[in-house]
Amino acid sequence: MTTGLLLTLAALAVVDSTSFGTLGIPVYLLLAAERSPVTRLLVYLGTVAVFYFLVGVMLMLGLSTVMENFGDALHSRTAYWVQLALGVALFVLSFRFDPKRRKKLGKPERRFEPQPGGPRAMIVLGLTAGLLEVATMVPYLAAIGIMTTSDLPVMQWVPLLATYVLIMIVPPLVLLALRGVVLGWLDPKLERLRTWMIKHSAAAVSWALAIVGFLLARDAAFHLFFR
Higher-confidence residue: 194 or 58?
A: 58
pTM of the shown model: 0.63
In tens, the pLDDT along 178-215 reads 876 766 677 677 777 666 666 655 666 677 677 777 87
Q: Where along the chain do its domains lie?
A: 3-75+110-199
Q: How confident is the model at residue 110 (pLDDT cuts 50, 70, 90)?
A: very low
Nearest to 161 by CA among 52, 66, 20, 46: 52
Q: How confident is the model at residue 112 (pLDDT cuts 50, 70, 90)?
A: very low
* CA–CA distance, 147 with 66 (Å, rounded to integer): 13
Banded model confidence at residue 166, pLDDT cuts 50, 70, 90? very high
The separation between the first and the last C-alpha atoms of the chain, rounded to the nearest angstrom, is 16
